Amino acid sequence: METPLTQHISFDRPCYNLRDYEKNGGYQALRKALSLSPENITNIVQASDLKGRGGAGFNTGMKWSFVPMNGHHPVKYLIANADEMEPGTFKDRMLMEGNPHQLIEGMIISAFAIQANISYIFLRWAYKKAGRLLKHAMDEAYAAGYLGKNILGTGYNLEMYLHTGVGRYICGEETALLNALEGKRATPRAKPPFPQVSGLFGKPTIVNNVETLCNIPHIINNGPEWFKSLGKGNDAGTKIYGVSGRVRKPGLWELPMGVSMRELIEDCAGGMANGYAFRGALPGGASTDFLVQEHMDIKLDYKSVAAAGSRLGTGTMIVLDDHTCPVGFVHNLEHFFAQESCGWCTPCREGLPWTEKILLSMERGEGRPEDLQLLEMHTRYLGPGNTFCALAPGAMEPLQSALKYFREDFEKHIDQKKCPWR
């Protein structure tokens, strides 16, 4: 099994410096890319069917193809979204701490494909170690001629900056991220215009996830057909999957796209910890719908997970066990989402705190039968199409699926006037 993203990552030693990275083939993809036309690179990435690994799952090359290439836009931007704040998600941190030059090389190739001359890494504030390693790797890349003016003598120029966020979940939404980079309040923008046409400071901009960008050098080196051959299901390539919760071996693994949930939990994570049984899992971080025992054998790719009623999201799974209260579990998530609402639109600003208060009252033994209808109402009114961005709809996914699969637990809280798990 090929593991291109993690083959040179080991936390038993320091991460590769520039010399180590080059010894293992680093920046060869950049040299190859600079001999191609930007259009050719975009076509290769589009043909590879690389889907965005940040959660949306949109074809990366197609996203790039929307950037105007008519020569009328002398300034363009390429941004790596490293603001990894989805609860249960820590895959990008591993990639940045384990092999920072892989991200930088992917960014340079991607920037060249859209003819961007300025790039940013928008980094989560808490990732201090990743920040230090990225800054050192950027300094090495500048000194070696991979960044700056006239890269490798080709006449192509690219400046790269490391920007640290201040800890707002909403900055995972690409247009809120752009507002934050501009020094404004981090609120989503109306679309259209889309960032590919009018993004940072009104200029054409591409925002890609860290894992997405790390795939680019390998696709350029090995070709789109190679990349497609790595997947087991409907989607191409490998994926950094993760499992957290009461399993024997929580962690991250690079696996073919399309492994089953059973393979991930039982084979990679070692199954449930002693004394605990599986009840359900959020397959792609906190803002995805629960999957339960009946879904254990579905393929973890975008289409299959959607058919089961959830989303692959970031591919980092949070497991719910039989000793954890589902109502308390969901309350904890809704508290987070209510706290992280940017307040820009009424349903999210008002609805999420209301939802959190209802769940808290249930946990305190103060729940009423009509609260179930109120929660269901919120899952509709805060759902897709009713809010300015996807924060509130994402927050409703664990709630609506918990009401579907664990309704009896909600009813026990109301009938017994207490949390049965306490």
Residue 256: phi, psi to the nearest 5?
-60, 140
Distance separating alpha carbons of residues 361 and 142, to the nearest angstrom: 56
Distance separating alpha carbons of residues 87 and 314, to the nearest angstrom: 10
**Residue 356: CATH number of its domain:** 1.20.1440.230
For the segment 282-289, the average pLDDT, to the nearest whole number, is 96
Q: Are residues 293 and 400 in the same domain?
A: no
Q: Does residue 236 sit in helix, strand or coil?
A: coil
Q: Are residues 203 and 271 in the same domain?
A: no
- CA dihedral sign, ordered 87, 301, 95, 389: negative
**Residue 112: CATH number of its domain:** 3.40.50.11540
Q: Are residues 66 and 178 in the same domain?
A: yes
Residue of 349, 237, 196, 220 whose CA lies nearest to 5: 237
pTM across the whole model: 0.95
Residue 108 belongs to what domain range?
A: 18-230
- Tokens (6 digits) for 178: 């752009």
Q: Are residues 343 and 209 in the same domain?
A: no
Q: Determine, yes or no, domain membership for 63.
A: yes
Q: Are residues 311 and 352 in the same domain?
A: no
Q: Determine, yes or no, domain membership for 158.
A: yes
Q: Are residues 381 and 253 in the same domain?
A: no
Model confidence over 58-90: pLDDT tens digits? 999 999 999 999 888 899 999 999 999 999 999
Q: Which of 321, 351, 370 is the last residue of a domain?
A: 321
Q: Determine, yes or no, domain membership for 294.
A: yes
DSSP string, 341-405: --S-SHHHHHHHHHHHHHHHHHHTT---THHHHHHHHHHHHTSTTSSSSSHHHHHHHHHHHHHHH
Per-residue pLDDT, 1: 66
Distance separating alpha carbons of residues 198 and 186, to the nearest angstrom: 17
For the segment 168-194, the average pLDDT, to the nearest whole number, is 94
Q: Are residues 280 and 409 in the same domain?
A: no
Distance separating alpha carbons of residues 290 and 400, to the nearest angstrom: 9
Mean pLDDT of the chain: 96
Q: Determine, yes or no, domain membership for 270.
A: yes
Residue of 169, 176, 162, 51 whose CA lies nearest to 104: 162
Residue of 389, 396, 353 whose CA lies nearest to 187: 389
For residue 225, name the pLDDT band (cuts at 50, 70, 90). very high
- Lowest average pLDDT, out of 153-162, 165-174, 206-215, 286-295, goes to 165-174
How many domains does one find in the chain?
3
Q: Which of 321, 339, 360 is the last residue of a domain?
A: 321
Per-residue pLDDT, 55: 82
For the segment 229-258, the average pLDDT, to the nearest whole number, is 95
For residue 167, name the pLDDT band (cuts at 50, 70, 90). confident
Residue of 229, 223, 222, 260 whose CA lies nearest to 243: 260
**Whether the Cβ atoms of residue 46 and residue 15 lie closer than 8 Å to each other:** no
Q: Are residues 312 and 351 in the same domain?
A: no
Q: Determine, yes or no, domain membership for 13.
A: no
Per-residue pLDDT, 422: 83
For the segment 7-22, the average pLDDT, to the nearest whole number, is 95
Share of the chain above pLDDT 90, in %: 95
Q: Which of 212, 230, 248 is the last residue of a domain?
A: 230
Q: Determine, yes or no, domain membership for 32.
A: yes
**Whether the Cβ atoms of residue 289 and residue 309 lie closer than 8 Å to each other:** yes
Q: Are residues 101 and 196 in the same domain?
A: yes
- Report the first-to-last Cα separation within the chain, whole angstroms: 45
Distance separating alpha carbons of residues 250 and 237, to the nearest angstrom: 23
Helix (H) or strand (E) holding 77: strand 77-82
Distance separating alpha carbons of residues 415 and 418, to the nearest angstrom: 8
- Tokens (6 digits) for 372: 């179930």
Q: Are residues 281 and 367 in the same domain?
A: no
**Residue 283: CATH number of its domain:** 3.10.20.600
Rg (CA), the chain: 22
**Whether the Cβ atoms of residue 114 and residue 38 lie closer than 8 Å to each other:** yes
Count CA atoms within 13 Å of residue 413 on its CB side. Answer: 28
Per-residue pLDDT, 317: 97
Distance separating alpha carbons of residues 316 and 242, to the nearest angstrom: 4
- CA dihedral sign, ordered 250, 280, 393, 197: positive
Q: Are residues 77 and 26 in the same domain?
A: yes
Q: Determine, yes or no, domain membership for 162.
A: yes
Q: Determine, yes or no, domain membership for 189.
A: yes
Per-residue pLDDT, 124: 96
Strand order in 205-209's β-sheet? 159-164, 118-123, 77-82, 205-209
Model confidence over 303-335: pLDDT tens digits? 999 999 999 999 999 999 999 999 999 999 999
Q: Are residues 301 and 365 in the same domain?
A: no
Distance separating alpha carbons of residues 373 and 394, to the nearest angstrom: 19
